[in-house]
Amino acid sequence: MKISELLDSNFIKLDVESKDKREAIKEIVDLMQGCSQIEDLDSFLGDIYAREKLGSTGIGEGIALPHARSKGVKRLTISFGRSLSGVDFDALDANPAHLIFLIGTPFDDVGNYLKTLAQLSRLLKKEYFRKKLLLAESKEEVLSIFKETEE
């Protein structure tokens, strides 16, 4: 499954205002309010926080991938937040995260979950791809960047 098929423009925020990791995660999770893929938003948020306590999902290069398997999630879903000023995600390289992809999946969909994480990680390793996302001027442009790169 392609990232562009999982990411909906309603789940994209290009101006994350939070400076704190917990607040940024909540701000991005809140995009999913009323989303059919999420059955229990509070449960999902709690699972994201619990996963983050196990180890930071700030992977460096200005990227954070908060994710969780959750009873509150009915179907694999992704939301994306961009912070131009950056959010401290306790990344390995100590740099703030500017591109934050939040991933949720039901407990029984581990295969697709791991494939999606791997696919997203591969795309984000490419510097030109990260730069395009940082410069995107609209949600639609973000989706186009994924569609172009995934083809």
Active site residues: 67
Q: Please, is 47 exposed, middle or buried when counting C-beta atoms within 10 Å of its C-beta (0-12, 13-18, 19+)? A: buried
Q: Which long-range contacts (CB under 8 A, 24 or more apart) does 25-34 make?
A: 25/49, 25/52, 25/66, 25/100, 25/102, 27/81, 28/66, 28/79, 28/80, 28/81, 28/100, 28/102, 29/79, 29/102, 31/79, 31/81, 32/77, 32/79, 32/104
Q: Please, is 55 exposed, middle or buried when counting C-beta atoms within 10 Å of its C-beta (0-12, 13-18, 19+)? A: exposed
